[in-house]
Each structure stands twice: as structure tokens, then as C-alpha cells.
Structure 1
Amino acid sequence: MGNCIICGTPVDGEICESHEEDAVFEFHGNSPSQLTPGRYYRGTVDGYADFGVFVDIGDHVTGLLHRSELDKRLESLDWEPGDDVFVQVLEVRDNGNVDLGWSIRQREREFRGKLIDTGTDEVRPEAFETEDDDHSQETADGGDRSEAAVSDVDADDVEAGDLQATADDGGPTDTESPAPDASETVASGSGSVATESAAASTPATDDAADAEPALNRTTIDAIDSQVGSVVRLEGEITGVRQTSGPTVFELRDETATVECAAFEEAGVRAYPDVEIDDVVALEGEVERHHGELQIETESLNILQDEDRQAVRDRLENAIESEARPADVGLLADNDAVTAVEDGIVDAATAIRRAVMEARPIVVRHGATADGYVAGAAIERAVLPLIREKHTREDAEYHYFERRPLDGRVYDMDAATDDVTSMLEARDRHGEQLPLVVLVDAGSTVESVDGYDLLSMYDAEALVVDDSRADEEIGDAVTVAVAPSLAGADVSDVTSTALAANVAAHVNDGVRADLQHLPAVSYWENAPADYVDLAADAGYDETAISNRREAVALEAYYQSYKDKRELVIDLLFEDSDASSPRNDGLAAHVSEQFRAKLETELETAQENATDRAVDGVTVTLLDTDAFTHRYDFPTTVLLLDELHRRERDRADTPFVTLGVGSDELHVRTTASLNVRDLGDAIAERAPNAGVSVVGGADGHVEFLPGERDAVREAALDALAETLA
């Protein structure tokens, strides 16, 4: 009669029936019939077949893990022949075939106990090892040394000067042996034991000397060369998630971030007192799990007082010294960009700091060519830093996300979506709150409510936008990179020109990848410095045009998705003949762009009407009747191109006015503040529910039933404003 190794219940053997599946067994039998169905066994991969994996259970039995038992595709398994794996024995057939099942637990520490299955019994590993040791000793002595010969020798009965040597025949000799020193031991039936006299003669200070010395602290960036070793790390917990097996803690020190697995029992939270932002000391073994570095946690202690503050200071000093970018300079001369150079540095610092603090970065951008290219510029700079700072292979998808916006306002809908996602990630996966970066959007007062919602959860936000921004934004976000707030002319700058400079400050190592992006974002009149910069990078006018048009088309389709890999293919591959696939891709997509745009333009030009109002020429288009509203191109892009095509034929101020069922968009050759236009329309059509979305560069919205009144009010207001 014994006790269950897990619950302590009295049992015949070592484990009770209810906990048999919680332990892992090591098989030392020699026949399949000796296996126990339902148990989990350690095995070794023998090889693959089309229908599954052959796994050796012990030295004499092989079973089949059929592909139907796997929780993933057979082809996706990264097991190699000889790898240790854990499987469940499902059935032992009459013919000796062994059917195996998948185990979600693939580490020994994820089981609650370990036993040896001898084929006839289960024994504890230490007992099994002792039996092996005794057998080996008997073999080494020729088998003549009996257990009885030493069974009466006990450390408690041995006094200094009384120990007798044991003869080869097992009997005591008449020769008295001298008392042993501290290093001598006596063999007994239960192993080797130190003599009491030796223990008594050893000074107390020797105990401390014999104790395992405390581990010296190491840093996460150094553990790659310490696989298999036990290390001590100190840092901050930046994430906690519970898996079906271990609890995974994300630990950040001053050099990098690593995941640390701690096992209590399957699906049970280990170290429940440890939470995000705690400063801890952790000891564990460095392992590679599916190719990723991971610490198998052996101890985890929350630091307090001076120890905690020392780690905090070390982290903060490292972040302060590393987060601030070096003086890398702007990509090219541009007055609007130069006006916000300090803001560019501040934005880059905030982004770099988020990476170092293991905070996710969420980039929100308009679903336009400029928005996508600007967002991709920041993505290009941030991803290598994430890969450098995190040991997870999928870290770049875990810690960085682009989410295109429907429009250029960060409204409550978008903010609610972000807050919902971030709270779910915090509660379910233990993630920190993200840094939200608005690019080519979010610089007008309509976005303040969205930022206020983020701020209620202490989520940080920053804005990079070429629009005419509102002063309120400066107080609503941490950093606003908006040249208009600095009094600069924004007529020759794009959001990409701003974002590419931010990206270059975030990671100067990708500067060469960014040089052509500003030129890509200009539909016309790109500054010469940006054109030259693109040419230096190997992108001629055709290559730049192809990429701009291709991104504009792809921005429309699945506009809520980032399309990361596709955008990378379009923007960042070489433009010469060495990469024909990618050049062909950009050229192919841009050809579709031109075909679709020309078809719509032809329809628009045929159905647009000209109005002359007090010296102002207006091309008026009914965007409901004469555009395909649910196909490419968008109304905004179509009106932009229509305005570019038509404006040069008029000597007077020229306006392109698109009026739909509830929206009015305007393009002019003269400066126009759409907010002022909206006020003038509202005064003339007081029952139309007029509002302006997107600030001075936005559009007018109104009640559909007042469409005619709004159109006429807009014509009158434009004539008054521009004449």
C-alpha cells in the first residue's frame, strides 16, 4: 500500500485512478501488452508516414500517432526523428499494434508527476534509479556482495573510531579502521550516507560553502548562448497569459523581452500573485521551444523596496538612453517637415519607447494611397526593432498592427473598436495597453472624443497628419506632428513625407528603404528633392507612378485590412530588372487602376455640368447618379482626378463640386476652408442638418431630404467666398 504521488490518497501502487492521466510515464517494459491504455508516455519520434508519425515508446515498442489524432496538419509538425515527444496510449490491439493519441502537453513539467512503468508495476524515478544503482554495484563486485552484509551498517550507529572495514566475503575484519574524514561514506542498502562523525567534525561554515551559490544576474540579450543552462533574470512583467498547459509570463529587462513558462498544473495559473507591471527576479532553464527562446521557470519572486527600485531605475535609464533617437537628420529639405522636426523626434521617441516597454503599437491610417504608404513607412521601421527586442518568432504580428480607417477622422466608432480590442487583449492575454498612432488622419476636433476614450484607460496616442489641424488636438494627444499647428504651409507636404521622416528617426537602419516613399505619395507636383531621393534609390518616374496607383487600388479592396505582405511587395522591392515579379505586380495592378479610373472619368465628364456663378466656374457632378458608388474608384479619388483634368481650362477660380444623397465634396483652385463653407450653407439651408466632417479639408454632410437646398446654398456660398 502506498500513496498517490499527486493527491496522497492511499493506493495499491503510486498513483490513483483519477490522477493516472495527470502523470507522465517512462516505459521500461519489453512488450506492447504491458502498456496501459489511457496513460501518457514519453516517446521518441521514429519517423513519418503518409498517415501519421511512428513513435518509439521505450526501447522495445513502437506505436502510431495517426494524422486524424493531431490538432494540426501532419505537414506542420516540426518534430524530427529522435525528438522527445509526449503521447497517450489509446489502444493496444490483439496483434500488438499500438494506437497513440495527441498530447497537448509537450513538456515534462506540464504533467503533475512522473513515474516509471516497468511493464509489471509503476515506481517512482528515484526508486527505479536506486534499484539500477544497486544492480550495477552488485555486478561490479562480481555479484558476491549481499545486501545482508551491509544491512546492519547504519550511519546512526557509526561512531568515530568504531567503523570496521568490510571484507570481500561480506564479513567484518578484525582490523580497526581509522575514523573517516568528511569526504568518506559508507555503502548501505539505501545508498551512500555520510558518517555521523564526519558530520560532527565539519564546521558549520562548511554547510554554507557546500550550498549551491546564488546565480548571478544575466540579461535577456545574452541567453541565446545559454540554452540548457539555468539563469537568473530581473525585470518587469509585461504580459501574462494562461494556456491550456503552463502560465506564460512575458519578462522585460533593459535589453530585451522573453517569454517564461511556469507550470502549476494544466490550465491552472502559476504564481497567481504576479501581475503585469510587477518587478520580479526569475530563475529558470533556457530552452528552445519550436525554435523560440523560452525560460522554463523554476522560481519567480516579486521584488520589493530597494530591490524593486534598483530594477526600475535600471530599466528607466536604459529606455531613456535608447529611446531618444540619434541626430539622424531629415530625409530631404522641406519647409513643412522642418517646421515640425522637434515633433518628429518626439514621435519617434514615443514609438521606440513603446517597443522597449513591450507595448503593442497600433497604427491607424486612412484607406488611401497616402495613408497606406505613410503607415507602411512606420511599419517598415518598427518591425526590425520588435524582432530585435523580442524572442518570439511571431512578435512582429503580436506587437504591431495597422488598422485602416474609413475616412480621416478617429471617431468614437474607431476608438470603441480599439478600446474593446485592447481590453480583451489585456484581460484574456495579459497584454499591456497599446500606443495608438494616427497617420494621415485624426488631426481635427472631430477626433477628440475618440482620444478622450483612450485616455480614460491611460492609452497613449500620437498624430502624424498633413491636414490643417485644430488646436484642440495638441491637448488631446501626446505628440502631434502637424505642420499647420506650427504655422507652416501644408500645400506641398503629404502625410507620407512626415511619416517617412518619423520612421527614419525610429530606425535609421531602414532609411534606404524609405527614400522613395515621399515621392510615391504625391499625385502631382512632388518636390524635386523627393523625386531626386527616389531616383537615387533606383525608382524612376514610372516605377513611382506604378506603385502609387497600385497601392491606391489595393487600398480600396478589403480596405479594413492592412494587407501587409501585399503592400511590402508593392512598395519595398527593387525597381530594376532583378525583381521582375514585383515590378510586374506593381505594373499589373496599376494598369487595372488606370482602366477602372478612366472608365469612371469618362462617365463623369459626360454627365458633369458647368455652372458660372458670379465669376466662379463650377463643374457640378451628381455623385449618386453618375458614379458606381460601390466600386472603384472612390468618390474622393474620382473628384480629385476630375478636378485635375478640368481645372486648367478655366481662367477664373475653378471649383469641382460633387453632391451625393447626403454628402458634398468640393475641390477648388483657390484656398478654401470647408468649415467656413459649411457655416455658410447652414445659414442658407437651416433645416438641412449641415455638419462638417474632417475640418478645414473635410466634407459637408446633410439630411438627404434637403439635398437640392444644400446644393444651391453651396453654389451661392462658393461664389461669395471665391469671387
Structure 2
Amino acid sequence: MKEKCNDCDGAGYTSVSKEKCPECKGSGKPRSVNLMSLSEKDMNSLLKGSAECEKCCGSGEIEVKEDCLSCKGAGYFYKCEMCGKPIDEPLDGKEVCRNCGEIHIVHQLDDSCDIAELEVGKLYHAKVNNVVDFGAFVNMNSNVRGLVHSSNIKDKLEVGDHIIVELNELRQDGKMDLIPKTVKEFRTVEVEKDIPIRKSSELKDLVGRLVKVEGEVIQVKQTGGPTIFIISDEEGLISAAAFEKAGERAYPEIDTDMIVKVTGDVNQRADRLQVEVRSMKHLTGEREKSVKARIDAALDKKAEPSETEFLVESEIMENLRPAMKNVARVIKKAVIRSRPILLRHHADADGMTAAVAIEKAILPMIQEINGADSEHYFYKRAPSKAPFYEMMDVTKDISFALEDSERHGQKLPLIVMVDNGSTDEDVPAMKYVELYGMDMVVVDHHHPHESVDKYLKAHVNPAHVGGDFGVTAGMLSAEVARMINPDVTDKIKHLPAVSAVGDRSEAPEAERYINLVSGYYPLEKLKKMALALDFEAYWLKFSSGKQIIDDILNLSGSSRHSKLVSLLCEQANEMIDEQLEACLPNVKSTELPNGAIMNVLDVENYAHKFTFPAPGKTSGEVHDRLCRKFEGKPVITIGYGPDFAVIRSRGVKMNIPQMVRELHDELVGAGVNGGGHLVVGSIKFVEGMRKEVLSRLAEKVGAVEVEEV
């Protein structure tokens, strides 16, 4: 391999010093002039006094040069094709060193090569494709085919035989004379088409040309015809089609997350560019690291969150800004890299508004990057009935993710959890997610447990900066969504207000978000939207109900919005009134030693089952009525069933997660677990220990400090 000398940059010499020009004695002017030999131009220069000394070109100095020691004045040197060491000159016409000279070099043509890469006198690997009377046709790659004449064949050749041939002659018409060679010791050197690496953004100007690209495989799709590889480089996505046989996987050794080099022809397919693959290789070692680092650096820059101002003033959110930007960065990078997003949320008004805010931010980006129908492959939103990531939910998520990965060749998804994911009850599911190599981020306002952070890529929770559940998940997620995609601001800016009303937030931020949109969404309308969401969430169960939720939140541009919200609220209020008519007469109220009024209701026996409102919502509605009844007093409401209790409170300084931990330790065999916010939450236990659990819970509630209401 002939290469330019780096030490002298191909000049063949190095400059040692400068000295006075011996011809003009340093003047830069010619010492004598032959007027008869001067051209008209030179005569004009002489008359103007601008003639120059020919030896120093008018500088008055000349360089003192020495032959470059590295290349010995040649300006170039040879490298051994086998070991890469520098050599003085080819050995017997072969660019190898003496140590390697005894080992033959046999070249393997990459599928990107054509006859332009062939050199007479070199050895090549070939495969017998057809045997005829006058010789054997051999393939040196998928593009180069030659004939071994029968006069040169000594041993019988059969179709499929792998042989080594020497290129004896290459004629102008492309025909070649190949001679079989028997080589005992050899080393294979791969030959590739020497063309520059191109970026995805350049391909539109290279239609019909052969290109070489490098990037990370993010998806492998097997069609009824070719195998489609979606490759990401630092500037975008490249669709590469490789064909083996109809419906047969091409390059089965190539899978997602691999760094590859692809050579192929750029073609226009409908409205998209596609590289028709000639060659695809998995890069390893330093080259792999270099390409991956280059791509990661570019994508990190693209994924940087927008510098947005919050819609309202909030010291808590300002303190949370770094964590919020981190969540936004992880989500945005996953979208840019065409990694599927699984958005999990609690099935209530707060969880829905939180999830929908992020949904509206990322869907346009997903479609822009992956195509109009990509939402079905790269995004899924799923509600969770429990206020934590249940094993039933995570099992379904992992199962579906693995099936999609197998069916569509996708990466495993990034799980985005909103209005859920901060408690120790989430940890078993998080361990399951970690085992399968999936990443997870959380935006939540439930009281956090320190154990969850080691399973998360990023975590936003107001409790981390001294805040509480009053800053809702809907508020936080809307601001994260604006960091991801500021263009959605006008579309989603009412969602935090719906969230605040739905979660009964009394934080200063709640009032500010409500006032922000009061011109178009008065408080009463916000309350109706929140109730409609809760009502619809009950009937949707595990379905996202995307179009219906968009209509309720006035995000679809449909004229149905007002009529739908009114209809759902009418039905919800009728069912709530019917439920309360049955429940309220069966509530037992007691004044505790601390002055709080404790109300208990057996929702298993004194409430309608399997209908709206569910036990948690029923307990909340009962609590609201009793707060009005006992105006000015601290109120605690407990709705219980065979193996659970739902707690609602006003004016008491409870810490429900702490109570749950204490009950778990104190009542051996009760299986107590649960959690939620500090003053709103739920508890689960084994049915046989209900009496003991509820009695001990009442004791703890009676001992808490109360506030002035």
C-alpha cells in the first residue's frame, strides 16, 4: 500500500534553514538581464522595477533542504499489506515485507467492489458458480464474475468449490483471464470500494450513486421481499434494503444496537430514499467506539431540552428544573433514536393529563422521524388502575415489548411513568424491567422512597426539593413536555389546571395554573373536564381511549367537546348521587382524642360494587360531603373492604407511607402494604387480619397532630 509520507507531507524533503540567495546576494533582483530574450511582459516588469531573481523568486532567501529521513526523499513509502509495517519497496512486485513475503496475500472482494478494484498479478478468493466444457465460471463477489479456462484447470472443479485464482489479464471489455493457484500458506486481505463515508442528510443529492454510510442499527424488519435495516447516524435515519431471497432474512448476523458500515446504491422509493445494500459489516473495536461516540455526541446535542420559562411562578419547580430537564433529555433522545416509548400513567384526571401532555409533545416528533404511521410501532400509552406499577402491568408490558421486538425488529422501549413510580411498591416491577435491559424515567408526586432511584434513568418528584403532592404530576409533566417540544405550549397549557382541580390541589401553583386559563376555561368547566376524565377512566379500564380523552380535553378540534363533557358529567353525577344515597346513612363518625372527626364506611357491604364510582372514588366523594358537614374541623375518612382501606383526610398531619411501614412491622402475618401521598393513600392487607389492621390504623390516626382548618 503506497502512502504519502506524513513527516514531509509528500514533499520528499524537510527544510533545515534559510540562507542568503547566492544568485542575487539577497537583493531579490536579477543580477543581469538579457534584454534580447525578455518578453513584452517581462520588459514592462523590468521598466517598473518589479523584476525578480529567478532562483529565490524575489525573496532574497533560499531554503536549505535535506532528504526526508522517513521516506528517504521519495515523498511516499510503502506499507506491508499483511502486517502494516513500513517497507522500502515492493518485494518481487508485491507490497509485503520480507517476513510476510513467504505468506501469500489472497484478496477477498467485498460486495461493494467491481472490476475497478482488481489488479493484475494479485490472488483472489473465488467460488465456482458454473462448470462448462470450456472452463469454469467463478464469482469473486456478487458483482464480479470471471472464467477459468479449461486449459488452466488441472484438478476437477465442481459448483460450490472455493478456490484461489490469480488475475493473469484484465481486458478492456471487462473479461479476465484467471488461473487457479494452490497456496499452502496465505493471509486474506479484504478489499472494499474506496469511497467516502456519507451522512444521511447527503443522500438526497446522491440518488443513483454508490455510497458508504456508518451508523447504529435501530430496527430490523423482515418483509415478504427484502430485509429492511433502519440505521441511525448523527444526522438522521437511513433505510437500507438487503435482499437474499423473498422473505428470507439477509445478514442474520446483524441485529439492533450494532454499529455497522453499509455500502449500497441510493434509490428513490415512493416518497423515501432507500439504500440498496451491496455490503453490510458489523464494526468492532476502535472503529465501533469511534462511530458510536460520534453519533452519541451529535444526538446528545439534538436531545438537549429547550430552555423554556415555566408557565407559572413556582419555587418548587425551579428547584426541580435540573431533574425535569434530565427526564426531558432522556425522552427526547429516545424519540430521536427511534426507540419505542411506553407511557404508563395512573388512571385518573391527574395521571391522564400528565400522560397526554407528554404524548402531544412527542407524537409529532415520532411521526416526523419515522413516518406518518409510526405511532403504532413506536408509541403506546397505557393506564394503571393501581397507584403503583403492578406486577400484572409490568408483565404485560415486558411480554408485549419482547413480542414487538421479535416481530418488528425494534429496540426494547423506554418506559415513562407519570403519576406513579416513586414508592417502594414500584420496586418489584422496576427490578423486572431492569432484568430485561429496559430503561425507565418517572415524573410523580407521590411520596418517594429512596430505593427507587437506582432503577431509574431520571426521576422528578417535588418531595426531593422540599415540596409535596400539591404540585401535581400533570403540572410537572406539562412543563417537561414543553422542554421536549415547546411548540405544544398553547395546546396543553390548560392541562395542569385540569390536573390541579382533579387532584384537589391546594398548592399556590394550582391557583396560578387555573388563573392562567380562566379566560377560556372557567373553574367550573375545569371541574367538569376532570370529572369526565375520572368517569371515562373507570370504563376504559386498561385502554388508553386516545380519541375520547382528546375530545374531553378539547385537544382534537372536535365540536363534540362541550357536549361530551356535559353528557359524561351528567351520567357521572347521577351515579355518584345514587352511590352516596346508599353510603352516607351507613357512615359511622367518631370524634378522636386529637379532635379530628373519623368517618368509616364499609364499601364492601354498603356501596354498589362493580360500577362507578369505584371504592377509592366513593370514599373521596363521601369525604367531600363530610368535610362540608363538619366545616372547620379536621376530618379523616376511611373506606374499607375485605382486604383494603382507602384514606382521605383534611387538617391532619399524617404520613401514610410511614403508617404503612409501621403496620407492616407491628402486625406480623397481616401482609400490610400500600402508600400514596402523606395524607391521602390506600392500604392492603390479608382479609383475615382486617379487624386488627383497622383497629391499629384507627389508633395511629387518633394520635396524629391536627391543623387549624
Is TM > 0.5 for Structure 1 vs Structure 2? yes
- Of residues 366, 372, 389, the one that matches 2:346 is 366
Deviations 1:643-691 (A, max 9, x none): 1221143343211110111101111111211234335656776554433
Distance in structure 2 (CA, Å) of the matches to 1:436 and 1:531: 30
Distance 1:224 1:543, change over 3 A: farther
Query: In structure 1, the residue corresponding to 2:704 is in which secondary structure?
Result: helix
1:528 aligns with 2:511: yes
TM-superposed deviation, 1:227: 6.8
Matches within 5 A, 1:276-675: 276=256, 277-289=258-270, 294-303=274-283, 308-390=288-370, 392-488=371-467, 490-523=468-501, 524=504, 525=506, 527-535=510-518, 538-573=520-555, 580-614=559-593, 615-650=595-630, 651-669=632-650, 670-675=652-657
Deviations 1:356-383 (A, max 9, x none): 2221111111111111111111111111
Match for 1:541: what amino acid?
L
For the 8 Å contact 2:260–2:280, the answer to whether it is kept is no
For the 8 Å contact 1:237–1:280, the answer to whether it is kept is no
TM-superposed deviation, 1:457: 3.0
Structure 2 counterpart of 1:702: 685
Query: In structure 2, the residue corresponding to 1:521 is in which secondary structure?
Result: helix
For the 8 Å contact 2:469–2:677, the answer to whether it is kept is no
Structure 2 counterpart of 1:64: none
Deviations 1:540-597 (A, max 9, x none): 33432332222211211122111222222222438xxx85323322332233222222
Match for 1:351: what amino acid?
I
Query: In structure 1, the residue corresponding to 2:440 is in which secondary structure?
Result: strand
Match for 1:705: what amino acid?
G
- Of residues 251, 259, 262, the one that matches 2:231 is 251
Deviations 1:270-308 (A, max 9, x none): 12232222222242343335x665444344344456654
Deviations 1:235-271 (A, max 9, x none): 2111113233321211112232243332211221112
- Of residues 690, 696, 713, the one that matches 2:696 is 713
Match for 2:513: what amino acid?
Y
Distance 1:195 1:336, change over 3 A: closer
For the 8 Å contact 1:464–1:480, the answer to whether it is kept is yes
Distance in structure 2 (CA, Å) of the matches to 1:219 and 1:301: 17
Larger Cα Rg: Structure 1 or Structure 2? 2
Distance 1:678 1:314, change over 3 A: closer
Match for 2:649: what amino acid?
T
For the 8 Å contact 1:249–1:261, the answer to whether it is kept is yes
Match for 2:551: what amino acid?
D
Distance 1:676 1:331, change over 3 A: same
Query: In structure 2, the residue corresponding to 1:557 is in which secondary structure?
Result: helix
Distance in structure 1 (CA, Å) of the matches to 2:482 and 2:173: 70
Distance in structure 2 (CA, Å) of the matches to 1:543 and 1:361: 32
TM-superposed deviation, 1:505: 0.5
Distance 1:331 1:227, change over 3 A: farther
Deviations 1:338-357 (A, max 9, x none): 23111000000000111122
For the 8 Å contact 1:446–1:694, the answer to whether it is kept is no
Query: In structure 1, the residue corresponding to 2:699 is in which secondary structure?
Result: helix
TM-superposed deviation, 1:622: 0.9
Q: CA RMSD in A?
A: 2.9
Distance 1:229 1:377, change over 3 A: farther
Distance in structure 1 (CA, Å) of the matches to 2:486 and 2:291: 29
Distance 1:681 1:443, change over 3 A: closer
Segment drifting more, 690-699 vs 358-367: 690-699
Deviations 1:35-70 (A, max 9, x none): xxxxxxxxxxxxxxxxxxxxxxxxxxxxxxxxxxxx
Query: In structure 2, the residue corresponding to 1:404 is in which secondary structure?
Result: strand
Match for 2:521: what amino acid?
Y
Report the TM-score, using the length of structure 2 for normalisation: 0.66
For the 8 Å contact 1:653–1:722, the answer to whether it is kept is no
TM-superposed deviation, 1:319: 0.9
Distance in structure 1 (CA, Å) of the matches to 2:662 and 2:237: 56
Query: In structure 2, the residue corresponding to 1:422 is in which secondary structure?
Result: helix
Query: In structure 2, the residue corresponding to 1:340 is in which secondary structure?
Result: helix
Identity %: 29
Distance in structure 2 (CA, Å) of the matches to 1:229 and 1:589: 59
Q: Unpaired segments of 5 or more residues in structure 1?
A: 1-192, 197-211
TM-superposed deviation, 1:216: 5.8
- Of residues 240, 260, 275, the one that matches 2:240 is 260
Distance 1:468 1:517, change over 3 A: same
Structure 1 counterpart of 2:186: none
